[in-house]
Structure 1
Amino acid sequence: MPFTSRSLLASLAGCLLYGSPVIADDGSTIVSPENSIIFPLQTNAVNSCPVPEKTSKEEEDQQPVLIQSDSFEALNNSKATYKGNVHIIKGRQEIKADSITLHQQENIAIAEGNVDYSSMDMRSKSDKVTTDLTTEDTTMINAAYKMSCQPIRGQASRVLKTGQEIYQLEDASFTTCPAGDKSWRFKASDIELDQSDEWATFYNARFEVLDVPILYLPYITVPVGDKRKTGVLIPSAGLDSKDGFELSIPVYWNIAPNYDAITTINYMEKRGTQLEGNFRYLTDLGAGELNAEYLGDDAKNQDKGARWGASWNHSGIFRQHWKFEVEYAQVSDVTYFQDLNSSIGTRDEGQLTQSGEVSYRSQDWDLSMRVRDFQVLVESQKPYRLMPQVEFNYYAPQFYNSLDFNFHSHVSEFATDDDTKPSATRVHMEPKLSLPLSDTWWSLTPEASLLYTHYTQEFDKKNASLSSLEEDTSRTIPEVRVNGAIYLDSTQKFLGEYLQTLEPKIQYLYVPEVDQSEIYGGQGEGGYDSSKLQLDYYGLFRDRQYSGVDYIAAANQFSIGATSRFYDDAYKERMNISFGQILYMDGSGTSENNDNKNSSAWAIESDFNYDDYLFYHGGIQYDSNESELQVANSTLEYRHNRGYIQANYRYVSKSYIDDNLSYSDPGPSSVTRYGIYQAGILTQYNIGNSWRLNAQYFYDTREEFMLETLVGATYLSDCWSFGLTYSDQIIAPETSGLIGSYEPEYESNVMLSIAIRGLGTNTGITSGSATNALGYGRPFYLNN
């Protein structure tokens, strides 16, 4: 509306009626900063999300009422009627209407005809609005509303606003879908919107999809923000070929600001009713989560009795020095995850960890105590328990000139339920001196360590396999290690475009041969907590062949290798290749036929990034002594603005598995005939901004059968999402059998999910469990 003399007249009349200093301006008058109100009226405060600070009664009364209209009529200084393009502003309230009547004594405004009302958190269009300009209590008739800070909109025959943050809606609708989208909505006789608690309460509500009623709920509360409130969450339902009809009813408990819980009743047609609980907490000692599941009687597996699962995870730092870690999980039986969907683990779990650790850390030393056990989800396997282990480490960098000193030690108690294995107390101490030297183009670090370990072992002396062990035995082994590298770069660019570097690396390691046969696992097989490490390129420069200290392998060897890197003009690494092997000075390497050999397998690793859309990672281990490829892996991925496609291949020879993995009877021949020959292809493609298609396929190229496949489609809009996934996974027979010696069988799963978006976290229906054990990974070393 152009500014006219009638607008000026109406504005001045408003000033006279309400006694607030207002200056009207037609653009020809310079307005002083202290009176910088410009006509036509403009505001930036209305409809902004942050809630303003509470103001006092005096401050609210002093806020000016700004009015603009084409004409007005005043009656005895008690009432004024404004007509034609009326615009009124007070604080963070704004009204536009065909006419507005102001009652001066009550400080009430009544707007009629095409009323556009705005406050700090709502905008509406209605036939009539009555508002108290002092308290901001407002009534709207036949309103179409939209919240400012949440994607909420709808219609109501009557809207009552009390205070700044409470709305009561009668005969109303509610949705988070954008205008014109009728995917879903709630309709209710009454709706209460509490902006402070960020929750909505519905009475006599029905849920509609495309205007078709789906579900009636006499009472329900839903979140409209991040705040929490006790109540029944939206139930979910579905059909599953494994469990039949499923219905889940979650109840949320807002116990305290730092505690909450969800209790879920899961009804499964073919199994029974399961109770599930989740408890979260935040304390001075850290944050954690507890989960519990209980199914009193599984109708499909009645011989297994009550089935349950529990887990506890905790992590925290207290007063900067104390650290606490807990990871505990246990289920009632080894097939729990194969039969039931669980928040504790997946069907691919081979074991569940049960560990706890508390440690104190300072600048120079740390002290830790930990306990660890496992629930192995395989019959007849009984691992060692660590009950407990106390570890002490001391660090003294440059304690004498450039010489560093480190001291590592621990006392460990090992126990097992396997009568064929010993239990033990192990004391280990390992002081180390090192002298790190370096310059811009080279580095050299000599190290000297002394490894002392004492064992007190308890075992059945009648067991012939343990006859070489001693109850009390000690072992002292010195170790010398020298590690050096040179960093070179070319003065000429490779292919005229890339800067090339060459980083030769060499290490000498000496560990004398010491008889360790009196220790369980002291001959390189098994042990209390030892396992053989993979000898890839990065493992060539380790000082140990095993993860624990039960067996310290003798060594008199040089590890040689080199890495070459290629950088573009922006000094971004585009390619690297690393290769190397170990040279045994006294033939201490052992080949497959137990003859000594002079070198290890060659190890090669490479990464490649072409123009940030084509990526490659690969690695091989080739044993020239046996003329055998032991391990190989390759991954090639092409990325585009719609998604990616990845092809990968994994190979591990049968002899490498035999030499490096420890098996219980009857041995590795019970698992595979030839080794691992696995090819996979994975892809994801996005159609527009809403559709996402993905697929995975894995195949055993030697046995010539499929391992896993998965296809899925997901639709994501502003107010709802839909997902459908199908998967096939190979399953082993009930009795152990050699892979390839039986006809493969598959378990098929379908997962359907429909979710409403915008009600706090996404809420909806999920049924089935279509997942794969072999999934997508980004194994690229280079930045990408």
Structure 2
Amino acid sequence: MISRFLLTILTILTIPQIQAKLMLGDDNEQKIFSMEECLINESEPKNINELPINIEADSLESINGETVTYNGNVVIVQGKKRIQADSVTLHQKDNIVIAEGNVHVSDGELKTVSSKVTNHLNTNFMFIENTKYSFLCQPGRGEAVNISKTEKTIYQIEDGFITSCSLNSNAWRIRSSKININPNKKEVTFYNPRFEIRNLPIFYLPLLTIPIGDTRKTGFLYPTVSYSSSNGFKTEVPIYWNLAPNYDLKTIFKYMQERDFQINSKFRYLSSFGSGSIDSEFFPNDKKYLNKRKRWGFQYKHNGIFQETWKFKVDYSKVGDITYFTDIDSSVGNRKDGQLTQETEVTYRSDNWDVSILVRDFQTLTENSTPYRLIPQFQFHYYTPALMKYLDFDLISHISRFDTDDEKKPSSIRIHIEPGFTIPIANTWGVWTTEARLLGTFYQEKNNSLANSNSEENIIRIIPELSTHASITFERDNKIFSGYTQTLEPQVQYLYVPKKEQSNIVKYDTALLQTDYYNFFSKRKFSSVDEIAGANKFSYSASSRFFDVFHKERLNISFGQVFYLEQNSEKSHNPNQNSAISNYSAWAIETNFNYDDYFFYHGGIQYDVDTNEVQLGNSTLEYRFNSGYLQTNYRYVSQNYIEKNLSYSEKQLSEIAKSGISQLGLFGQYQINSKWRTNVQYFYDLTTSQELEWLASLGYQSNCWYIGLTYSNQFRGWEDKNNWLINYPNLTPIYENNFSINFGITGFGTNIGSDSGIIGIDNADNTLKYARPFLLNN
């Protein structure tokens, strides 16, 4: 971007070899622009010589065959180009034009002020002396001792600098002894460039080459500098490699005072099969953790659609040790539940069916964990939306092979076939859907234990499923709150799934889903098919919404419950719970509120009628104002709920949960003025009376530079973490305190150091993120 504007300085001053006319009070039909206007969107002929040249001056002196001199307030206008000078002289024999005395030139994108401009019309050589220039369409300016253009269209700037800071500000600039601009190669070369802050040199390079405009070129990108108590001073020097039009590479050399060198890279590509990237991180010698030394992280991602029918997806990541993410701030990997995902999927879609192949494995980030890998899964889905009038048909099927490194667990081949018929009936005020499905699953299990290495077991399970769901929407003008429209939306569902003994089936990729208001109308209790929970129940709920005169939803309230026709059918999943229970589930209530787009509330609660206690609860309150926002949120999970939904023993659960989960969070952001902003995040555990995490930052941003100060106190792990489950009540949490300073420059379409975040914690690697507090259908 910098070089494109430097190129403009030289091109706008060329005076074409055509007859100019003196305009002394004549009517000028050509549109005249101000020298301060940005005219980047104004059209102009490809051949600028087709435009007339208008010249105004106080006086004209001519020596026949020698010179023509315009004096006093000389103004030359041609299209978007405008030149002002005290004097302009045309030497007719040599065909040279010289403009002198306070020479101002503008082409609608850049304006220059110089003492003298010399233009050789025969050779297009031009020489500009003592030049100050400024960009008109974005922040940016500079100075140069002289600017010259040779007959080979090579432009040279001698002893010049460039900055995005405003006039009279020397916050930063890039100065170079010589700058060569080659429009044919679309590149600019800086000789001996140095970056200066308030005229003080910060770093120096012998040579720097950058592309012109939107072209790309191999070379150094801007470095960043920061400091933290964990890593000490940190410097990052990125290098961009323009390998081909459809793929490139970015390498970052990072030095941390407490850690030594780290090399990161990101390779990107684009092909007819989609786009992808390969990210890698490598620590040759991590001085902070001497027992680990060489450390690395890797991730390969690909997404693409081919010929509108094929879809490809790859997400493979791996790290050198299981504490990699605890010790190192890293961006690689798709982490979930203490595991790194490693999967590949290929899908083919047609109008009525699709088929896919999925391979999935994991790298566990905890000790003694051996999840099942899927190698592979073949899926086939067929759907006919209108087999008959009011009758839809679909077929879900897959064949999966599961394997594990745990010799005490069996491997298996699972075949699942699930046809279904649906009767959908709907109009503008209601929906009634009835569905019947048949779930057939076959397992061929092989025990890999040494004692039973030859044992095999075949399991066949066939379970029918029947459900019917109806909902109605009523609407009226609210009489209490005038100007508001209120809806009432009751719904009811009956679900029947016969109970069947399934304790002999291993849970390969199946986990218990959370039971809350949004799960009341789900037909499945588990995430996959290794367990199909029996059900004979009615789910019922009602919602009411309030819309203002602009049809914007301001309030909604929803509540629901499940009635089990068969006691103990699925109310209690914990086999150790022997207390009497009713046929009713917990009541669940959810509400969202938006008052005048500045006061927001979200709340949810799940109350168990059997134990007379709150199982789940969450509440978020947010106040927004012109300069920022304040938010407080709270979440609660009872100990009984945890025991019912996790598979640990009662003793272990009581140690982990103690009194359940009760946590408070605070967020705040305040724009002090146009340049200063501050952020705060704080999380506190009420059950253990311990701080979980807090961060605070203060940031300043001017028109050309910024600085961010951040302090954080973050949870990083537990002492004696190898035995944390047994010794949990006596463990001491480990925190890491960090103070970081990030600064950089802005302008010319790029932010130096912006990867660190201008303010600090907006992009911080904290575990709990800010979220909007409500979900309204606006």
Structure-2 separation of matches of 1:461 and 1:251: 52
Q: Tell me what 1:749 maps to.
A: 738
Instruction: Please point out which of 206, 226, 234 is paired with 2:194.
Output: 206
The residue type equivalent to 1:549 in the other structure is V
Is it true that 1:488 corresponds to 2:474 in the alignment? yes
Q: What is the SS of the residue equivalent to 2:743?
A: strand
Is it true that 1:569 corresponds to 2:549 in the alignment? yes
Structure 1 residue 566, shift from structure 2 partner? 0.8
The residue type equivalent to 1:537 in the other structure is Y
The residue type equivalent to 1:645 in the other structure is L
Moved more, 162-171 or 321-330: 162-171
Structure 1 residue 585, shift from structure 2 partner? 0.4
The residue type equivalent to 1:113 in the other structure is G
Q: Could you tell me whether the CA contact under 8 Å between 1:46 and 1:93 is conserved in 2?
A: no
Q: Tell me what 1:6 maps to.
A: none
Q: What is the SS of the residue equivalent to 1:300?
A: coil
The residue type equivalent to 2:469 in the other structure is N
Q: 1:52 to 1:278 in 2, by over 3 A?
A: farther
Moved more, 646-655 or 59-68: 59-68
Q: 1:63 to 1:105 in 2, by over 3 A?
A: farther
Q: Tell me what 2:491 maps to.
A: 505
The residue type equivalent to 1:534 in the other structure is Q
Q: Could you tell me whether the CA contact under 8 Å between 1:238 and 1:766 is conserved in 2?
A: no
Structure-1 separation of matches of 2:535 and 2:451: 32
Q: Tell me what 2:641 maps to.
A: 656
Structure 1 residue 611, shift from structure 2 partner? 0.7
Q: Tell me what 1:342 maps to.
A: 330
Structure 1 residue 23, shift from structure 2 partner? 7.9
Structure 1 residue 701, shift from structure 2 partner? 1.2
Q: 1:47 to 1:593 in 2, by over 3 A?
A: same
Instruction: Please point out which of 703, 725, 748 is paired with 2:710.
Output: 725
* Mapping for residues 323-402 of structure 1, pairs under 5 Å: 323-344=311-332, 350-402=338-390
Structure 1 residue 511, shift from structure 2 partner? 0.5
Q: What is the SS of the residue equivalent to 2:205?
A: strand
Moved more, 229-238 or 650-659: 229-238
Q: 1:546 to 1:196 in 2, by over 3 A?
A: farther
Q: Tell me what 2:242 maps to.
A: 254
Instruction: Please point out which of 453, 459, 468 is paired with 2:447.
Output: 459
Q: Tell me what 1:617 maps to.
A: 602
Q: Tell me what 2:588 maps to.
A: 603
Q: Tell me what 1:780 maps to.
A: 774
Structure-2 separation of matches of 1:583 and 1:166: 83
Moved more, 553-562 or 415-424: 415-424
Structure 1 residue 87, shift from structure 2 partner? 1.3
Q: 1:663 to 1:314 in 2, by over 3 A?
A: farther
Moved more, 414-423 or 241-250: 241-250
Q: Could you tell me whether the CA contact under 8 Å between 1:151 and 1:177 is conserved in 2?
A: yes
Q: Could you tell me whether the CA contact under 8 Å between 2:57 and 2:70 is conserved in 1?
A: yes
Structure-2 separation of matches of 1:710 and 1:135: 63
Structure 1 residue 122, shift from structure 2 partner? 2.8
Q: Could you tell me whether the CA contact under 8 Å between 1:445 and 1:483 is conserved in 2?
A: yes
Structure-2 separation of matches of 1:239 and 1:43: 47
Structure-1 separation of matches of 2:597 and 2:693: 30
Structure 1 residue 561, shift from structure 2 partner? 0.5
The residue type equivalent to 1:403 in the other structure is L
Q: Could you tell me whether the CA contact under 8 Å between 1:389 and 1:410 is conserved in 2?
A: yes
Structure-2 separation of matches of 1:134 and 1:393: 74
Q: What is the SS of the residue equivalent to 1:659?
A: helix
Structure 1 residue 548, shift from structure 2 partner? 0.3
Structure-1 separation of matches of 2:525 and 2:337: 27
Instruction: Please point out which of 160, 175, 199 is paired with 2:163.
Output: 175
Structure 1 residue 78, shift from structure 2 partner? 5.0
Summarize deviations over 1:480-536 as a string: whole Å, max 9, x none.
Answer: 00000111123543433422111010000001122223321xxxxxx1111111111
Structure-2 separation of matches of 1:494 and 1:405: 47
Q: Tell me what 2:565 maps to.
A: 585
Structure-1 separation of matches of 2:110 and 2:562: 72
Structure 1 residue 107, shift from structure 2 partner? 4.8
Q: 1:634 to 1:327 in 2, by over 3 A?
A: same
Is it true that 1:706 corresponds to 2:694 in the alignment? no
Summarize deviations over 1:293-349 as a string: whole Å, max 9, x none.
Answer: 222232332322421110111111111111111111110001112222323159998
Structure-2 separation of matches of 1:570 and 1:745: 52
Q: What is the SS of the residue equivalent to 1:774?
A: coil
Moved more, 664-673 or 702-711: 664-673
Q: What is the SS of the residue equivalent to 1:435?
A: strand
Q: Tell me what 2:613 maps to.
A: 628
Q: Could you tell me whether the CA contact under 8 Å between 1:712 and 1:723 is conserved in 2?
A: yes
Structure-2 separation of matches of 1:545 and 1:260: 46
Q: 1:163 to 1:560 in 2, by over 3 A?
A: farther
Q: Tell me what 1:558 maps to.
A: 538
Summarize deviations over 1:684-732 as a string: whole Å, max 9, x none.
Answer: 0012222110101111112111111110111122211111111112332
Q: Tell me what 1:8 maps to.
A: none
Q: Tell me what 1:9 maps to.
A: none
Q: Could you tell me whether the CA contact under 8 Å between 2:432 and 2:468 is conserved in 1?
A: yes
Is it true that 1:264 corresponds to 2:260 in the alignment? no
Q: Could you tell me whether the CA contact under 8 Å between 1:90 and 1:133 is conserved in 2?
A: no
Structure-2 separation of matches of 1:149 and 1:165: 25
Summarize deviations over 1:100-134 as a string: whole Å, max 9, x none.
Answer: 01234665421000100123643100000123568
Q: Could you tell me whether the CA contact under 8 Å between 1:751 and 1:766 is conserved in 2?
A: no
Summarize deviations over 1:554-606 as a string: whole Å, max 9, x none.
Answer: 11100011111111122211100111111000112434436453111111111
Structure-1 separation of matches of 2:426 and 2:343: 40
Q: Could you tell me whether the CA contact under 8 Å between 2:81 and 2:107 is conserved in 1?
A: yes
Structure-1 separation of matches of 2:268 and 2:659: 47
Percent sequence identity over aligned pairs: 46
The residue type equivalent to 1:481 in the other structure is S
Instruction: Please point out which of 423, 429, 433 is paired with 1:435.
Output: 423
Q: 1:332 to 1:246 in 2, by over 3 A?
A: same
Structure 1 residue 170, shift from structure 2 partner? 0.9
Structure-1 separation of matches of 2:719 and 2:243: 47
Instruction: Please point out which of 745, 757, 761 is paired with 2:750.
Output: 761
* Mapping for residues 121-160 of structure 1, pairs under 5 Å: 121-132=109-120, 137-160=125-148
Q: Tell me what 1:11 maps to.
A: none
Structure 1 residue 49, shift from structure 2 partner? 2.9
Moved more, 483-492 or 563-572: 483-492
Moved more, 546-555 or 219-228: 219-228
Is it true that 1:478 corresponds to 2:464 in the alignment? yes
Q: Could you tell me whether the CA contact under 8 Å between 1:672 and 1:739 is conserved in 2?
A: no
Q: Over aligned residue pairs, what C-alpha RMSD do you find?
A: 3.1
Structure-1 separation of matches of 2:73 and 2:322: 75
- Consecutive unaligned residues of structure 1, counting only runs of 5 or more, are 1-14, 521-526
Q: Could you tell me whether the CA contact under 8 Å between 1:678 and 1:699 is conserved in 2?
A: yes
Structure 1 residue 420, shift from structure 2 partner? 2.2
Q: 1:486 to 1:92 in 2, by over 3 A?
A: closer
Q: Could you tell me whether the CA contact under 8 Å between 2:161 and 2:173 is conserved in 1?
A: yes
Q: Tell me what 1:49 maps to.
A: 40
The residue type equivalent to 1:286 in the other structure is G
Total equivalences in the alignment:
749
Q: What is the SS of the residue equivalent to 2:291?
A: helix
Is it true that 1:683 corresponds to 2:668 in the alignment? yes
Q: Tell me what 2:413 maps to.
A: 425
Q: Could you tell me whether the CA contact under 8 Å between 2:407 and 2:450 is conserved in 1?
A: no
The residue type equivalent to 1:506 in the other structure is V
- Consecutive unaligned residues of structure 2, counting only runs of 5 or more, are 1-14
Q: Could you tell me whether the CA contact under 8 Å between 1:46 and 1:94 is conserved in 2?
A: no
Q: Tell me what 2:437 maps to.
A: 449
* Mapping for residues 409-424 of structure 1, pairs under 5 Å: 409-424=397-412
Q: 1:480 to 1:545 in 2, by over 3 A?
A: same
Q: Tell me what 1:10 maps to.
A: none
The residue type equivalent to 1:708 in the other structure is E
Identify which of structures 1 and 2 has the higher relative contact order when contacts are C-alpha pairs closer than 8 Å and 6+ apart. 2
